[in-house]
Every structure is written in structure tokens, then in C-alpha cells.
Chains A and B, each alone.
Chain A
């Protein structure tokens, strides 16, 4: 009561803690548009406090066991939607089989936020400036979705549609994200450019490459903070496939970015500058990939 009188800024809402997936889906189906799932709350709660969102019902999904845990399933690592950002740093299976997520995690916000924010929440929100959604693209991950009409798996490539818009339909939940297991013939790199550590980046990039000897057999490169969605740069990828990573190739990949990216207008980072930064970052990361042999 004490706090409520001075500190509560959100509009009043009801709260329901779901014990099972069915309960959560059910509650949402009954409440319709006026309900939101809440996981770590690290994006939703600020939005409520600012009254940017004012749902009537919050459905807490953090007690649903099915959404939890990291384990191997065949050729994939199944990462439960409730896996917290801090677990990306501490969970040995992630370090071993999804090292790109492990490498990106320290760049996600600050420890207090990483202690609560969830992988599923981050991917569901699909903030184009967020690290993890972009990395699901580089990892060729699959997003498992449960909804009133059953379950399905959507490739990350098909998941991100537009600004904060995904393949998720109203009332659907992400249950887990499936990441192909990292292999010995693969290399990865991640970095971002930010004015302060922990901030959303000016530009960020992660990549996963499969090598055949010294040549790149396959590579997936994904950017954050370059447009309305996390962005794969297929043109740049194409310049690298079947090639050795020398200075000339790196320059070619950098050159291709212009066709891949159309950064938005911004008073702080004009499009041409963001493209420049994307090139610089690509050069540095490919350089590291080359050295990582």
C-alpha cells in the first residue's frame, strides 16, 4: 500500500499466474486483446509505467515448467523461452553448443536486467536493437510457438516481419528456441559498437561460419540496430561463400553491405554513418574469424 500511493504509474490491471501452458493460453483466449504475457518484465514493465501499454490482464508465464531449461534434443539445443539472459553466460551447454549466444550475452543490458530478462521475451519482442533476436538469424534457429490452434516451429528467417512485428499471432507464446549444435568446423564472432557499455548498440553484428579447410563453406551474418527488424545480410554472405578470408574478400563483403542494408533516418546516426559503422564492424569481425583458425 505504501508504495502504491506514490510510485505506481501504470494503469490498474489484473494479474494471473499461470501454472501450465494451457492455463496461460486459455486465460489469454478469454481476455482477448486486453491481455499480455509477462516473462522477465524488463521491457513490458517500463512500457506499462510509461502507459505506452495498458492491458487489463497480465498473465505471468514464469511458473510454467515447460518453458524452462536448456537441453540437447537431437542435432539441436533446446533453449526454453524462460531462459534468462544471465543463464546465457552461466549455462555450460550454451557456452559449448551455442557459443554465439554466450558471446552476445554480456552486451545485453546490465546485470540487474540480465537477471530477469528472458530469451523468449527478447525474441518475442523482436526489438531490432536487441542482440538475441538478431543472433537467432545467424544461428538459423527455429522458434517453437504454442497457441490456441496447436504448436508449430518457425525458422528465424521467417519469424521477424516488421518493427516489433513477428510471426506470433495474438495469444500465441514462444515455448522454446531450437539452435543447431555448434560444430568443430564452425567459427563465430560477435561485437557491437555502443557509446556506453550495456547500451543498445549503434550497430551490432554476429556471425556463424562453417569452414571447409581455409575456405568458407557457409556463413550467416546478422545485424542489430540497422533497420526495422534484425537483419541478415545475404549479399555480403554470398561474397564470402567458397572463399578464403583475405583482405580483398573482406573488402568485397563490406562493399556488398550497401545492397543489404537500408538504415533508417536518425538524428544521431544518419543512414550513411550507420552503413559505414556496419562496414567497419564487418571488417573487424571477419578479421577475427580469419584469425580464429
Chain B
């Protein structure tokens, strides 16, 4: 299925064209404006003393020597900041029954993970602040540490929060259809227990913040490396009791985010408080070691799942139990249960069966918080489902392509509801399967695999179908009481020279949001892209909106820009019509010229309209007020989410003596609806896949029995590097959503959603003749050699 031709498909349309990102050159030239580089007059620097214990009572804090150190302006403890900041709790109403302890910028009486910030020092330089940290003494009294997920669930065991009955944060259940009956009558049942390690985002630029409170004006300005400036404006305002209009959050260039920079971090909240206490700008940039112990982590699931099939390979039912551990608190304001919730709701999503049961249990432990990170929940649901499908195929003697072709929801059967209750507008699994088969040269790969196996070379081929959640409506956070917007706003002006300035609430972290917004505006107005300037990320300037999360920039932000531009165009043509004594509908704008809609003959440049409107309004008919600035908001309506779909494939080689895996090639066929900029879409897919491959083979936050992160450095925490990454072949199917004019859906998380599942299936495919299986991610040499019983 390919998108039908509309006005967006004009030959000279910017939509669907690989135009470069206007900001790429600036960033490459070193002219980025990152918070890390920012220096304000009279700025001070914060550093934090961190807890060496995973769980301990704070008995006493002695700060005298640190305070006395030259160049130190303030030493602040949890008690100091608690006087000016109200606590927060990471729960949402729509997650019924969930609990989490209140949080303060710095702990008041207890530390709950190793690496938690305990005392802040503010000094004239970071070096002085760090020197002063060494002069602080904290007496701790050890408390029992909860590390392992299984131990955390034992009745009568140690508690993360004394006073609670157990370590449970949240429980949830789904039960649709007749699951027990389906299993009872199934011809085949496959079952497996999976584990998924913790990992973390590892952005190039760590978290960075400069808070600048001006007591004379009662205003707070925060330069913050975040995806969601409006959310933080709201939070700083409410927790520090400053009127919202006096809080400004500026998020300019950001060196990567991936979901990690949309949560409240204790240090960031503390820095705001420190600036309020001092009346001076205070800066804090996490270093890499601090990032490992304080950025959110993600995943960490144990899943037991089974799938029932009939004798022909038709999937009848799934039954799933997800246990996930989230650290000592649920993150604020989005919580730490969204991932688990999405795990149990995305299971089986590509397939037609209706009988589904799942339980989710979210557990506290003494580790840093986990929360939303690229492809929230998707990789888990995808790996579990797709591995079970492969196991079933093996049992039935079916090819992995064949069993999927048999079970996916047919492309012509939409709208449809998933076994877990999600409503799908239109997906394209069949088209994607067919296309993947072609681009992989699947039959060729299988023939090559068989030939090499005879020579003792163990290649594996894996595929994984997926569904991705994009364009979220208020059903995601708003209904739970979170002040997180799912709408976006834009303000568009025609400048006196006939160019366009667009202020929009979606934000840019390197993915090219500003590029696609300028493409849409240029396209819809009829202007060259270089005459469109897009401005993002400043709550004082850009209208309130959701900003960046959950794949929404193109689908929601793009539609906002499209509708705003159409409004501006109407206003421009109205003035043009008055000047030209025409009906507005008889006119159009092409390449910055007002033209005759029928003949395309040029009538006048829009710069001339701007000139007249701004400087010679006296020449317009009396009563005319030119409106060359429009503001427009767009909130998604119709389906609560725009689901996308796709399929990935990979080919790899397992060294069965060493357990090392070489990725040979990766493939994806993806359907994100309308493709606005193919190059940027492809790069989103590649980047996402690489993050998924990192999770599959390398990335894991490993903890000791005492709750210490043992590999918290880039020497020990392995991120995917170019030498290990395969070429990635990309193809598209386009099924636009009819909920918007633009028809775009999200694409940022699709790569991550299925890459690890694909590798898991391929490794198992390679090991199948040797009778070994793997059910755990990351797939380390140790796991492979253990499965092969090599040592």
C-alpha cells in the first residue's frame, strides 16, 4: 500500500523530499548552543556528594570544613532544600493502586540507592566544589539492601520503604477472551521465561542545567537540556511556588536525549533551589560517572510467557506474566510503570488472535530509577512475542515467514482491535512481510546458511514483526492527572520581507524536528525552505505544547504546523485579493509569488504584500486589518494513538567456540505513514536499530549483591560502536493516518522496538542445530557458551 496522491504530492513538494537539516551545519561547525557550554555572569557551579550505600539511614552530616573552604558559597542538605521545595510523588491516577514514596531534591533522612546525591556544594568553580565535597562527612547507618528482583518479592524480606507492606509499586491485569479454554484445546503450546537486562541512554551530552533565579524580579530562568521545557516550567513553578508566567525554561541545542531527559532528576530540582537560595545562576553538568548512577535506566524485566496454537499454526492465545523492577522510586511526573504497562499491552499486537491474559508486577529495589527510554516497553513485548512465534514455527515445521504471514492481521481487515485492546486504524503487516522477504533475499540467505553449516560456520537469520505506539492523545498521561500536554501550538508570522518565522512547541534533540517543520511550512505556504525560520524550546517565546516524547514531533507537531500555515496562507491571500481585486480562492502562492490559481501566472510577490501590510496599510481598503501572524493549536483526535508497524530482519554469525556474535546485515521495512523527509526517517530508523542492537548484545547495568553498579563507566558499559554495527537496509510502506491532513505517524522508536528481538531470533536460529537456546538479553558470550555447555 502506498499513500494516495494528494496536494502533498505535488512534484515540487517539500514533503517526501530528503532535504538536509538546516541546523546540521551549525552543529558540525561547533556553533551549537548547548547548556554544557553556557556561562552566565556571576554563575556558580554545583557538585554533589553521592551515597556510597544502596540503602542507609543518614545519621549526621558534617559540612563545617566544606563551608569554610575558600570559594564555596553554599553547602546544602536535603533539609535545607525541603524548606523551599514541595515533595513530589511519581504516581498517576489511571494506574490504579500504584504507590511511590515522596521525593525531595536531596534525601532528608535515608538514601535509597548507591550514587544518590546527598549533599550539594556550590562554589566558584566545579573543581573547588569537588574539593569541598571531600571535606564533608556523612555518617550512615546501613539498612538491608534490596537488589534482586526475586528477593524483593519474598514475603517478609527487606523493604525499600519501611512502613510499606511489601516492595510492590503497581499491579495490573488484562484478561480478554477465553484463555484457559484456548490453552486447554491447543494442539501446540510453546512457553519460555525471558530476562531483559537494565540499560541506560548514554547521551553524548550528559544532563546539564543552569538555573538563574532573580530575586529582584521574582523570576526563574532555567537553561535546561531537556526534551520537554513546558513540563519543567510547570514543575518548577509548582514545586518552588513561583507563578508560572515568571518561570522560563529554555532548551536550546541538546546533545541527545532518547527519553532520558524528560524526567525529573533530583540534582536538577536541587540546582533550581540552590539558585533561589543564592540569588545567582548555578550550573550543574553531570559527568559520565554520575550519569551512570543517576540518569534513568530502562528495561529490567523477567517475563514468563506462553502461546497456544492450533494444529495448522494459527495462534489462539497468549498468557504473559511480566515482573519488572524500577529502583527505589517511581519517576516523576511520568512514572516508572508505563514501560511495564506497554509491555503487556503490546504483546501479540501484530497478530489476529483474541484470547489474551497478562499480569504485570512492578517492584521497588535499591537501585537508580528506571523509566521511559526510547521504545518504552516495545522491545520486551516484541522479543517475547516474536521468540514464541519462532518457537511455534519450529515446533510445527513452519518457516518463520510463513507462520507470520498466516497470523498477522490482514492489511484489508482494518480497523481492528489488538488482543490487548488497542485500536488500530490501518497497518500493513502483509505488505511489509512481503517486502522484507525480497530485500533480504531470504531464500538466498537460507541457502548460504545451509552451505556454511556444513563447514561448521553457524549463521543465523531472524525476523521480528512489530507495532509501535505514536501520536499519543491525552489517553497517555493527561487522563492520569499529569500536566503533560498532548497538543502542540505554533505561531507563524510573515515577516516584513516576506519570510516566515515559525515558533512551535515541538523541540529538537538532533532528530531533525526543525527541518521537517520548515519543510511543512514551506510546502504549505508555497515558499522556499530557506525562507522559513523555525524556533523551538523556549517557554517564553514558543506556545505551550507537548514538545518531544513518544514519537509525536512529525505526527502532531507537523500537523500543527500544517494547519497553522494554511491559516496564514488564507490571511495572506485575503490581503492579496484585496490588492489585486480578486477572489482569494482564485489565487495561490508558489515559490513566494502570489499566482493565479488557474494559470499559475505570477501576480505579485508575497514580500510585496508584507511591505504593504506593514508599512503602507494606508493603501489598503478602509477597515482592513492584515493578520500576518497566526497562532494555532492542534490536539490529536480520533484514534487515541496512531499505531505504526514494520518488520525487521537480520543475519549474523555466532562463533560457537567463543560465544562472540558478528552482526552481518540488518533489514527493516517500516510504515510510518506519510514520510516527510526520507533521509531523516531513515536515520531515525538506523539510530533506533543501533540502540536496539546495543541492547541485544552489549548494554547492561550490572549490580553487585550490595547494590553497587559495577560497570558504571564507558570502559565497562559497552555501547554499540561502528566496528560492530552492520549495514542497515531500509524500505518503506506508506499508510497515512486519516486522522490528520498530513497523515504522518511517528518513527523514532521503530528501530529500537524490534532490533533486539530480531537478533534474539537469529542467534537462536544459529544455535538450533546445536540444541542450544538463548532467552536472555543482552546476549553475552557467557550466555552463549553456557547455552552451548562449552565450559
Contacts and interface: CB of A to CB of B under 8 A. Distances in A.
What is the size category of the interface that chain B forms with chain A?
A: 20 to 34
Given A195-B718, A197-B724, A276 B790 contact: yes
B68 interface: no
A5 interface: yes
Contact of A5 (B125, B660, B781): B125
Given A202-B781, A276-B790, A193 B125 contact: no
Interface stretch (A16-24, A62-70, A264-272): A264-272
B718 A199 contact: yes
A12 B698 contact: no
Contacts of B791: 270, 272-273, 275-276
A149 interface: no
Interface of B: 36, 39, 45, 124-127, 130-131, 283, 285, 287, 289, 657-658, 660, 697-698, 702, 710, 715, 718, 721, 723-724, 780-782, 785, 790-791
A276 B791 CA distance: 6
A197 B127 CA distance: 34
A4 B45 CA distance: 11
B126 A5 contact: yes
Given A193-B658, A195-B660, A267 B702 contact: yes
Interface of A: 2, 4-12, 50-51, 193, 195-200, 202, 267-270, 272-273, 275-277, 280
Nearest to B44: A5
B146 to A, nearest CB: 19
Contacts of A275: 791
B698 A8 contact: no
Contacts of B131: 11-12
A196 B287 contact: no
A10 B126 CA distance: 10
A11 B723 CA distance: 36
Given A195-B660, A198-B723, A8 B125 contact: yes
A186 to B, nearest CB: 27
A269 B782 contact: yes
Contact of A50 (B283, B285, B289, B657): B289
Contacts of B697: 195
Contact of B698 (A10, A51, A195, A273): A195
9 residue pairs, one from A and one from B, having the closest CB atoms:
A276-B791, A197-B723, A8-B127, A272-B791, A5-B125, A280-B657, A273-B791, A196-B721, A6-B126
Contacts of A7: 126
Given A2-B39, A6-B39, A280-B657, 7 more contacts: A9-B130, A9-B287, A197-B723, A268-B702, A269-B781, A273-B791, A277-B781
A275 B724 CA distance: 25
A9 B723 contact: no
Given A5-B45, A11-B131, A280-B657, A196 B125 contact: no
Given A5-B125, A280-B658, A273 B782 contact: yes
Contacts of B287: 9
B126 A196 contact: no
A196 B780 contact: no
B282 to A, nearest CB: 12
Contacts of B724: 196-197
B718 A196 contact: yes
A9 B290 CA distance: 12
B39 A268 contact: no
B785 A273 contact: yes
Nearest to B661: A195
B658 A277 contact: yes
A109 to B, nearest CB: 10
Contacts of A2: 39
Contacts of B723: 196-198
Contacts of A8: 125-127
A268 B124 CA distance: 42
Nearest to B713: A50
A13 to B, nearest CB: 11
Contacts of B130: 9, 11, 51
Contacts of B715: 200
A126 to B, nearest CB: 17
B782 A9 contact: no
Contacts of A50: 289
B681 to A, nearest CB: 28
Nearest to B208: A6
6 contacts: A6-B36, A8-B125, A50-B289, A196-B724, A272-B791, A277-B658
B283 A6 contact: yes
A285 to B, nearest CB: 13
A8 B715 CA distance: 20
B725 to A, nearest CB: 10
Nearest to A200: B715
Contacts of B718: 195-196, 199
Contact of A270 (B45, B289, B660, B782): B782
A9 B785 contact: no
A267 B780 CA distance: 12
Nearest to A50: B289
Contact of A4 (B127, B702, B782, B790): B127
A219 B126 CA distance: 54
Nearest to A54: B134
